[in-house]
Each structure stands twice: as C-alpha cells, then as structure tokens.
Amino acid sequence: MKSTIAIIGAGNLGLSIASGLHQTGHSLVLTRRKTASLSSWSTRENVEVTSDNIQAVTKADVVIIAVQPSQCDRILRQIKQSLQKNCLVVCTAAGYQIEQLEAVLGSNTAVYRAMPNTAISVQASMTLIASNETGVSRLSEVEELFAHVGETLAIEESQMQAATVLCASGIAFWLRLIRANTQGGVQLGFESEVALKIATQTAYGAARLLIESGNHPEAEIDRVTTPSGCTITGLNVMEHSGMSSAFIQGLTASFDKINEIKSTT
Ligand SMILES: NC(=O)c1ccc[n+]([C@@H]2O[C@H](COP(=O)([O-])OP(=O)(O)OC[C@H]3O[C@@H](n4cnc5c(N)ncnc54)[C@H](OP(=O)(O)O)[C@@H]3O)[C@@H](O)[C@H]2O)c1
C-alpha cells in the first residue's frame, strides 16, 4: 500500500530521504520554514511543500522528523494533537532518545530512532533503526522505507551510540583511508585525480566483494597475498605501524566522546 509520508525538516537529510522515496510512488509532504528552496519539489507529482507542520502531518501515515535535535521537543508538541491514530513517528535527530519522543507523544505511539549516514544522498546509506515497545510490530514498515535509500538493520536503542560511531562517523573514517591511499598513489607517480579514482574504485570493489560473496575480509585477503609477495609485505608493514590498532582505538575514542557529550547534555 502506498503511504503518505510527511518529512518535517526538508534539509540535507530530509531531502535525501525524499529523493529515495519519491521514486517509489509514496505521497510526500515536505516542510521547512523557508520553503523557497523547495520550489523544484513543489511541481513534482505526489509532492506537497508547506511550512505548516500541523497541516503536513494531518494525513500522514508516517512522519519523519529530520530537524536538529534542539528543535525536536517544540515540533513534537506542535504536531502531537494532529497525528493520525496509527501514525508511525521516525526521528533522525542524533542523540534524541526514544524516552524523549515518548515523553511528548506518549508510549502508545509507535516511535523510532533512525541513524543513517551521508551516503543516503546517493541512496547507499547504512541506516540503523531502533523502536519503542509499541513500534516493534511495525518495525519492518520503517525498515522498508529506509531500504529505498540503502541498507537497514534493526538494533536495540542501547546500541545507538555505537551505531552513530560506526555508521555516521564511519563515513569520515573510510574517506580518510581513501585519502591516505590517494596520497600513496601520488608518491608512486600518479596524478592526484588518477590516484583518487584508483583508490575510490578499489575501496568500492573491496566492499562489493564482501557484500556479494558474504566472505570474511581475511578470506578475500588470502586470495591476493602470494607467499613472500608484495601484498603481504605491504600489509605487514602497515600492521607493524599499527593500522588495525589505530582504527580500533579511534573507534573506541569516538565512542567515549559521544558518551561524554551525551552525559553533559
Ligand atoms: N545529514 C545526515 O546525513 C544525518 C545523518 C544522521 C542523522 N542526522 C540528523 O538529522 C537531522 C537533520 O540533519 P540535516 O543534516 O538534514 O540538517 P539540516 O540540513 O539543517 O536540515 C534541518 C532542516 O530543518 C528545517 N527546520 C528547522 N526548523 C523547522 C521547523 N520548525 N519546521 C520545519 N522545518 C524546520 C530547516 O529548514 P528551515 O530553516 O527553512 O526551517 C532545515 O532545512 C539532525 O538532527 C541530524 O543530527 C543527519
């Protein structure tokens, strides 16, 4: 069944989600205060643009809140009375918790936290989703929506901080590794744009190998490491310099930081 989906806060993330969902035939209602920047959307079929959040949610089967965390409380209070009875409410605001959603909307409303990453703009996000008790039975409907903009996984809310590090910050970690590969390529004699293309496609290929084969990374590494060859020689120098260890320490430091920020806000 095609749903009506209201996206409250059609900024970077909201519009990325809208782009993925628009192709699926769902009706979309997009809101932001300054709607002028949404003029190219208002002429599209099955899309309504408004600055009126209350009007936007009145007919919506799903409401996606994609505003900054500091704006969530006020917007939830504003729309609360106008939500349809069986509406699903999905909040993407980093750090905004299910108990905060329930404090305004009540625990009988099906509420969800979704944590995508910036690859959502090219429909290649990894989106982690957690639900409150009421929402568990309809979690698959929310997963289905975000499956239009990448892969999804349902997790416990207690894992959301770790998910933020691995998935949302994770994009930056992988980009920095691609940059390091590019710098190495330039040192080996390639022009920088050529080195970047080689590094990017190789990273993409490595990820696709794992996704399509289901293999463990080490099994794929075994396939390219000839005994005494150049690949194992390079890999071992990287490991002696602490590559895996640096990555793991970075992830845990990032996790400590996100918990510290949470405990002081
Ligand atoms: N970008 C990502 O990939 C990503 C990933 C994971 C999580 N998140 C989370 O998603 C949320 C949105 O991120 P973003 O990068 O898309 O931010 P953004 O570009 O700043 O988008 C937020 C939008 O909300 C609109 N807005 C503000 N107040 C509003 C109101 N009262 N009613 C309706 N719309 C309102 C703003 O437009 P106006 O000023 O015109 O109203 C703006 O376009 C954040 O909480 C962030 O933590 C983002």
pLDDT computed for residue 127 by the predictor: 97
The answer to whether residue 265 scores a pLDDT higher than 60 is: no
Distances (CA, A) of 106 to 70, 81, 87, 115: 19, 11, 13, 22
In 18-149, DSSP assigns E strands to 27-31, 47-50, 62-65, 88-91, 110-115, 125-131
- Ligand 1 neighbour 69 (Cβ under 6 A): yes
Q: How many residues does the chain have?
A: 265
Which of 13, 39, 55 maximizes ligand 1 atoms within 8 Å of its Cβ, making it the mutation to test the pocket? 13
Considering the domain architecture, whether residues 96 and 57 belong to the same structural domain is answered as: yes
- Ligand 1 neighbour 68 (Cβ under 6 A): yes
The answer to whether residue 264 scores a pLDDT higher than 90 is: no
The answer to whether residue 178 scores a pLDDT higher than 80 is: yes
Considering the domain architecture, whether residues 8 and 128 belong to the same structural domain is answered as: yes
Q: In this structure, which residue's CA is closest to atom 24 in ligand 1?
A: 9
Cα of 11 vs centre of ligand 1, distance in Å, is 5
- Ligand 1 neighbour 31 (Cβ under 6 A): yes
Cα of 191 vs centre of ligand 1, distance in Å, is 38
Considering the domain architecture, whether residues 151 and 176 belong to the same structural domain is answered as: no
More confident residue, 226 or 260: 226
Which of 32, 48, 122 maximizes ligand 1 atoms within 8 Å of its Cβ, making it the mutation to test the pocket? 32
Confidence grade of residue 263 (pLDDT, cut at 50, 70, 90): low
How does pLDDT run across 194-207, given as a tens digit for each residue? 999 999 999 999 99
Considering the domain architecture, whether residues 17 and 129 belong to the same structural domain is answered as: yes
Considering the domain architecture, whether residues 147 and 217 belong to the same structural domain is answered as: no
The domain tally of the chain equals 2
How does pLDDT run across 25-40, given as a tens digit for each residue? 899 999 999 999 999 9
- Ligand 1 neighbour 124 (Cβ under 6 A): no
Considering the domain architecture, whether residues 17 and 96 belong to the same structural domain is answered as: yes
Neighbouring-strand partners of residue 48? 29
Q: Find the mean pLDDT for residues 156-182.
A: 96
Task: Show which of 133, 155, 177 is a domain's final residue.
Answer: 155
Residues 5 and 46: their CA atoms lie apart, in Å, by: 10
Task: Show which of 112, 131, 155 is a domain's final residue.
Answer: 155
- Ligand 1 neighbour 8 (Cβ under 6 A): yes
What CATH number did the domain enclosing 194 receive? 1.10.3730.10
DSSP string, 228-247: T-HHHHHHHHHHHTTHHHHH
Considering the domain architecture, whether residues 19 and 90 belong to the same structural domain is answered as: yes
Distances (CA, A) of 173 to 165, 179, 220: 10, 10, 21
Neighbouring-strand partners of residue 13? none
Cα of 68 vs centre of ligand 1, distance in Å, is 5
How does pLDDT run across 41-81, given as a tens digit for each residue? 999 999 999 999 999 999 999 999 999 999 999 999 999 99
Q: Tell me the pLDDT of the chain averaged across its residues.
A: 95
Query: What is the span of the domain harbouring residue 254?
Result: 163-264
Considering the domain architecture, whether residues 25 and 148 belong to the same structural domain is answered as: yes
Considering the domain architecture, whether residues 40 and 150 belong to the same structural domain is answered as: yes
Q: Which atom of ligand 1 is nearest to the CA of 121?
A: 3
- Ligand 1 neighbour 163 (Cβ under 6 A): no
What CATH number did the domain enclosing 139 receive? 3.40.50.720
pLDDT computed for residue 25 by the predictor: 84
pLDDT computed for residue 41 by the predictor: 96
pLDDT computed for residue 130 by the predictor: 98
- Using DSSP's 3-state secondary structure scheme, residue 221 falls into helix
Considering the domain architecture, whether residues 126 and 76 belong to the same structural domain is answered as: yes
Considering the domain architecture, whether residues 167 and 119 belong to the same structural domain is answered as: no
How does pLDDT run across 73-121, given as a tens digit for each residue? 999 999 999 999 999 999 999 889 999 999 999 999 999 999 999 999 8
pLDDT computed for residue 23 by the predictor: 83
Considering the domain architecture, whether residues 90 and 144 belong to the same structural domain is answered as: yes
Task: Show which of 108, 131, 155 is a domain's final residue.
Answer: 155
Lowest mean pLDDT among 6-10, 21-25, 69-73, 250-254: 21-25
- Ligand 1 neighbour 195 (Cβ under 6 A): no
